[in-house]
Structure 1
Amino acid sequence: MQEPHDNLFGLILPDGLILAFVVLCAQILTSIHILSTKDQVRSAIAWIGLVWLAPVFGLFAYFLFGISRIRRRAKLAREKRGLPPRTGALADPAGISLAGLNANTSKRWIAHDRLAGRLTGMPLAANNQIAPLRGGREAYNAMIEAIENAERSIALTTYIFQADQAGRRFVRALVRAKERGVEVRVLVDAVGNWYGFKPVSNLLRRHNIAVGVFNPARLSWRLAFFNLRTHRKLLIVDGRQGFAGGMNIRKHHLERSDGRPRVRDTHFSLKGPIVNQMMEAFADDWIFTTGESLQGNLWFALHDLWSSGEGCNFMIARAIADGPDEPRQKTAMIIESALAAARRNIKIVTPYFLPNEALLAALEQAALRGVEVQVLIPEKSNLPLFGLAAFASLKPLIRSGCKIFAGKAPFDHTKLMIVDEDWVLLGSSNWDARSLKLNFEFNIECYDACFAKNMNKKVDAKLLGSKPVTIPNLNKRGFFKRLFGRILWLATPYL
């Protein structure tokens, strides 16, 4: 028998009823918070459903992962740098517009530039050089060479930084730079820092390298946004040369002993004023994590912002730093705008493809307009459950005329989007809810026909080694595999 207790109203109730009443109040208050803060109806319904169908688990999960507390910390960090907080207010950024930089630009890209500028608050940067680096060996060699030649400063952030044969090579280069008097800052994600169970942050600290760990898990209020990760991969040297893309630092990106690649990927080398925009993103993350403000000529270089020219050596680009501290999902909105601007073809390469309803609709509309839409995803994902959910969501796209291709092994981690041989998006974002809603990501949009044609050729080469995904092929997948994929697909609102 439960012992009864008096409540505030003088009634005698069993302990179980009191507990049930407390949980009920928590469910009601949580539901009110969800309705007041969530902008997407699917996300709101999903969280409310979890809170009411699985009360204890749902309340705990929402407290940890559903509440965005990170904007307050981001606001304070920007104030320390003397920058205004991100309020969501829209305004045209300072600088020359796309029409001013290229008189031959079509109206659709002029409109897209206006949207991207207002969303990001970033001006266009002209006179950039951006070159693709294929695979870990080529990319790592170029990055190490830049570190070895550094004279003033090095800023490095990445999601995964393993203390393996690839990571230790970077550590040794950073230590040598530190010994030469170069200022070095390294930022690693708390989750990625533990890949391999040997935190590279400890190794760096032993060598007196200034290192920050982004959102570490602690038994405190910080645990509530441990799910929010930095997925950015940036290296900035002397404020003049940068590297960006989707490549982590780990031996997984190097060849096997027989010379065969374990994984395919593409990283990019960048020079020009776009590097300052990269450094802005790093400085934001660094002060957010450590409280130290990085400013001045040590970290930012002077560039000729508005030089005119043509071809791949005079590229027009803009940085897109996005994350859960932002009032809008900037990357998703810019992608949707580019899809709407497409007239001839769209090519997408991504390792993880579970787009939200708005992006799915934009892809279907493009295909129905007669635009050739080609999406390349891995035939076999390195995350098997994600792969099942991804293939379970493809039928509507295929029925609308989108062409989906499955790339054969090795796993392709490349992240790339090309529209009409006019516009290219490169960076760290995947086409899934985690990248577009929860992660801190960094992408770059490029307005350059020469660069777009070169990237098109590389995607075409990838497509040659892939096979089309068709409705009959999807139907041939085992019943339980298809059913389990649809069940996993239902969980995407919680990501």
Structure 2
Amino acid sequence: MDTLRDFLAEYWPHLAFLTTFGISAIAAVHAAMSKRDVRAAIGWVAVILFSPLFGTFFYLIAGINRIRQDKVHQEHNAAITCPIQHGGRHAVTNLGPFAPRHLWSQKILGDHISGFPLLTNSSIQALDGGPETYPAMLAAIRNARHSVAMTSYIFDCDAIGKEIAEALIDARKRGLEVRVLIDAIGARYSHPPITSMLLRGGVQTALFMNTAFGLRLAYANLRSHRKIMIIDGTLALTGGMNIREEFITPAKGGTPARDAHFRLEGPIVSQLMHIFAQDWKFSTHETLEGPPWFPEDLPPAPDNMHPTAIRVVASGPDQNIGSTHNMILGALAVAERSVRIHTPYFLPDQPLIAALNTAARRGIAVDIVIPSNNNLRMVDYAMTAQLDQILGSGCRVWRAHGIFDHAKLLTVDGAWSYVGTSNLDPRSLRLNFEVDMEVYDPALAAWITRRIDSAITQSSPETLETLRARPRLKQLRNRLIWLASPYL
């Protein structure tokens, strides 16, 4: 025993070094072998090797996509049990009435990627910001007759959050089935969390990726960014809007932030309900089925006065990884006239950058609107550092002044649109659970175009010259932050 004690006393630094080196080497090899994106692989290997203890610990928490590799993946896939109703008689077989011929191949791509059929006989109405969205939510809840299902990334315990929570509690008191799912990180954006109020009011509430002892650290980097509200299985609201009063009440003497949401009726609602039911079962092990959630007879939307084809595209770090990424790549490949993009966070990877540059070089008008004043300063630094990669090819980038706009909008050739919860950044494209919709509807495309054109009139162009005019220290800062963009 004394010999062992003497040995450890003399050689413990060497043993600690070898142990640390061995653990770091294993973690670095795992990152190199499992990461599909070369930037992410290089970044994680560098973090692990240059900071062996912290880097390895951080990689174990945030770097391993366990959703795709272990029991959680199996549980999430097993949660897909709800039937996709009304797909057959409303499925689009001929895209001719809905879109020009050059976009027909985009439907084939969506057929392979989404898992949901493209549907007709559904309506979609754009809601511009909190002043239109929150009243629509409250009216929908108060007029509900059977059920309310709601999921959100952020559900703050502020004035608008409490008003919506009270409406949900009142719906439960009227005898309705009510389920609320909030991301475990997003639920902590305000204190006290809104979950306490909902649970006291009898509303069945759950946190996504959470345990009885708090947040699952192993999955802390994989969040549900979805925002869906479904009423009676027949009406849905989805889009970029979290539940936060900053989207309806001026903050610090300024003006409310802006976003976009969408109101849907018709068969498309079943697809959104399927996504919610899958996430709810994954989080609570309760299966939602039957008429309260999936009506047996879901008629077409009564106010659909023009041809609309629409489907839901779910994405996330599970079997749907890369869905939105591939849908956007396809749309950029078939575009013939214009690509209009509005996003608060613009950090595309190299394939998307190449697709945008190729579109611009083919003569396509590519306009990208991003905020002048971003709510995430570090993301803005990284965005700025990367803009030179698309400006040289003819893409136009606009910095919108005024209020911060959180909307995620994309439209191609005035006929095809992609809207929902996804940003064009690594987190949305690979780490978050997101829900978006591809829509063949000239009316929606025109609304998006008008909204983007309006933003451009209040914007300043970002050019290679404006990028070079920034002080060198700021350029260096931006590039250093950009190196961490896969983790922002």
| Aligned equivalent of 1:369, options 362, 367, 383 | 362
Q: Could you tell me how far 1:389 is from its partner in structure 2?
A: 1.4
How far 1:479 sits from its partner (Å)? 2.2
Name 1:214's counterpart in structure 2: 208
Instruction: Work out whether 1:205 is the aligned partner of 2:185.
Output: no
Does 2:19 align with 1:22?
yes
State the match for 1:251 in structure 2. Answer: 245
Change (3 A) 1:441 1:12: same
In structure 2, the residue corresponding to 1:321 is in which secondary structure?
Answer: strand
Q: Does 1:267 align with 2:261?
A: yes
| 1:344 to 1:182, Cα distance in 2 relative to 1, 3 A | same
CA deviation after TM superposition for structure 1 residue 104, in Å: 6.9
Q: Is the 8 Å Cα contact of residues 90 and 121 (structure 2) preserved in structure 1?
A: no
Aligned to 1:65: 62
Cα offsets for 1:419-438 (capped at 9, x unmatched): 00110011011111111111
* CA displacement at 1:97 relative to structure 2: 6.9
Q: CA deviation at 1:316?
A: 0.6
Amino acid corresponding to residue 420 of structure 1 in structure 2: D
Q: Which residue of 1 aligns with 2:40?
A: 43
After superposition, residues 229-244 of structure 1 pair within 5 angstroms as 229-244=223-238
Choose the corresponding residue for 2:131, options 137, 144, 166.
Answer: 137
Shift of 1:111: 1.8
TM-score if structure 2 supplies the norm length?
0.92
- Of residues 320, 335, 339, the one that matches 2:332 is 339
2:478 matched to which residue of 1?
485
Residue identity opposite 2:245 in structure 1:
K
Moved more, 65-74 or 315-324: 65-74
Provide the secondary structure at the position in 2 that maps to 1:242.
Answer: strand
Q: Which runs of 5+ in 2 are unaligned?
A: none
Note the alpha carbon deviations across 1:164-187, whole angstroms, 9 max, x for none: 110011011111111111100001
Which whole-Å CA distance do the structure 2 matches of 1:80 and 1:288 have between them? 6
Q: CA deviation at 1:110?
A: 2.2
What's the CA shift for 1:252?
0.5
Partner Cα distance (2:11, 2:346) in 1:
51
Q: 1:313 to 1:152 in 2, by over 3 A?
A: farther
Give CA-to-partner distance per residue, 1:141-191, whole Å, 9 cap, x none.
Answer: 011000000011100111111111100110111111111111000011111
Task: Using the TM superposition, give the Cα deviation of residue 303 of structure 1 relative to its aligned residue in structure 2, in angstroms.
Answer: 5.8
Indicate the percent of aligned positions where both proteins have the same amino acid: 37
The letter of the residue matching 1:216 is N
SS of equivalent to 1:318: strand
Of 400, 413, 416, the residue aligned with 1:407 is: 400
Structure 1, unmatched stretches of 5+, are 85-92
Q: Which of 418, 438, 448 in structure 1 is aligned with 2:441?
A: 448
Deviations 1:53-80 (A, max 9, x none): 1111111011001111123324224435
Partner of 2:465: 472
Query: Quick check: 1:286–1:292 contact (8 Å CA) kept in 2?
Result: yes
In the TM superposition, what whole-angstrom CA distance separates every residue of 1:312-337 from its partner, at most 9, and x where no partner exists? 64411110111112353111111111
* Aligned counterpart, 2:271: 277
Q: Which of 104, 121, 128 matches 2:122?
A: 128
CA contact (8 A) 1:239 1:299 kept: yes
Give 2:201's aligned amino acid: H
Matched, 1:33 2:27: no
Q: Name the amino acid aligned to 2:422.
A: S
Task: With the length of structure 1 as denominator, give the TM-score of the two structures.
Answer: 0.91
Aligned with residue 421 of structure 1, among 414, 418, 423: 414
* Count of paired positions: 482
CA apart distance, 1:396: 2.1
Q: How do 1:292-441 and structure 2 match up within 5 A?
A: 292-302=286-296, 313-326=306-319, 328-441=321-434
SS in structure 2 opposite 1:172? helix
The equivalent residue for 1:89 is none
1:75 is matched by which residue type in structure 2? Q
CA contact under 8 A between 1:154 and 1:236: conserved in structure 2?
A: yes
Task: Please list the CA deviations of residues 83-137 of structure 1 after superposition, one character each: whole Å capped at 9, or x if unmatched.
Answer: 79xxxxxxxx978875524357445422221122211211111111111111212
**Cα displacement string for residues 265-309 of structure 1 (whole angstroms, at most 9, x for unaligned residues):** 11111111111111111111111111111112210134668x799
Label 1:70 to 1:138 Cα distance change in 2 as closer, same or farther (>3 A).
Answer: same
Q: What corresponds to 2:171 in structure 1? A: 177
**Residues 1:96 and 1:126: Cα distance change in structure 2 (over 3 Å):** closer
Task: Please list, as runs of the form range in 1=range in 2, the aligned pairs for 1:99-138 lying within 5 A after superposition.
Answer: 100-102=94-96, 105-138=99-132
- Superposed CA RMSD in Å reads 2.8
Letter in 2 for 1:66: G
- SS of corresponding position for 1:339: helix
The aligned residue for residue 90 of structure 1 is none
Q: CA deviation at 1:50?
A: 1.4
Alpha-carbon offset, residue 387 of structure 1: 1.1
Residue 462 (structure 1) aligned with residue 455 (structure 2): yes
